Amino acid sequence: MKKGIVCLDFDSTICKYETLDKLIKDLKLNNKKDVNIESITKSAMNGSVDFFDSLNYRMSFVTGITKEKLQEYTDDFIRRDDLYPKINLFLEKCYNLDYDVCIISGGFRNIISEYILKGYLNIDENYVFANQFKFNQEQEIIGFLESDLNYSDGKVKVVNKLKKKYNRVITVGDGSTDLATKDYVDYFIAFTKYALRKNIVKKSDFETNSFEWIGNFIENLDDINKEIKKLINTNNN
């Protein structure tokens, strides 16, 4: 059995951007000049707007895009430098330390998988848990498939399934849906390089803007847990 699993958010964590927002911006789909898509996403990530409502609203801008157009977009706009520098060195370190790594994202598998298929991200596609676009017979986006990850507690449900297979679970992310996992995992680490949300940091176990730090934390975690147990035993005596 593996030592554990590290569960990473994708948008504003592995990736510099909120990928659905970037899709809307790059394809100039926001024809409502009084609407700030980024502010709606930020409100959802801060927890002040319901995630499902935010997702549903943002999806209204991409409805009608064909599968062919989406593929053209991923071919033209997805780049290696969208991702955290040297993210694959972090992933390799986790694998060498006997940890699996997965992505748990409220974003879309249709986009995330392209980074894997292009060889930019060394994660097994079977370890990507994310939403998926729904297409009609004309291969046009008409919404998203029903999934736990449509909702604000979706990541908690995914984590609880993983806990049946792994003794140690660590989650990393920037938003309220990531923070929601804290009470169900060993450690929740707030990632702040691309989005600093003070309410998330305040409630996290740890905060960092560096995957190198996370790699070192995981490498030393057995020793850290031993020291924590010593402190608890000392305080109890």
Tokens of 58: 């943002």
Instruction: Provide the number of structural domains found in the chain.
Output: 1
Segment 25-30 shows an average pLDDT of 83
The Cα–Cα gap between 60 and 81 comes to: 28
Question: What pLDDT does residue 222 have?
Answer: 86
β-pairing, 206-208 vs 187-191, is parallel
Tens-place pLDDT, residues 32-43? 554 566 676 767
- Domain that includes residue 198, residue range: 4-236
The Cα–Cα gap between 211 and 219 comes to: 12
**Weakest-pLDDT range from 7-16, 50-59, 164-173, 201-210:** 50-59
Segment 13-23 shows an average pLDDT of 94
Compute the 3-state secondary structure of the chain and give helix, strand, coil in percent, each to the nearest 5.
50, 20, 35
Whether residue 25 is predicted with pLDDT greater than 90 in this model: the reply is no
Tens-place pLDDT, residues 106-161? 999 999 999 999 999 999 999 999 999 999 999 999 999 999 999 999 999 999 99
Whether residue 91 is predicted with pLDDT greater than 60 in this model: the reply is yes
The Cα–Cα gap between 36 and 108 comes to: 20
Question: What pLDDT does residue 234 have?
Answer: 67
Q: Which of 220, 222, 175, 169 is nearest to 194 (CA)?
A: 175
Best mean pLDDT range from 23-37, 40-54, 171-185, 223-237: 171-185
Question: What pLDDT does residue 228 have?
Answer: 74
**Weakest-pLDDT range from 16-20, 34-38, 97-101:** 34-38
Whether residue 177 is predicted with pLDDT greater than 80 in this model: the reply is yes
**Weakest-pLDDT range from 55-64, 68-77, 145-154, 228-237:** 228-237
Confidence of residue 237 (pLDDT cuts 50, 70, 90): low
The Cα–Cα gap between 186 and 170 comes to: 6
Tens-place pLDDT, residues 205-219? 999 999 999 999 999
Question: What pLDDT does residue 198 have?
Answer: 94
Whether residue 224 is predicted with pLDDT greater than 90 in this model: the reply is no
**Mean pLDDT score of the chain, rounded to an integer?**
91
Q: What CATH number is attached to the domain comprising 222? A: 3.40.50.1000
Question: What pLDDT does residue 57 have?
Answer: 87
- What is the reported pTM? 0.91
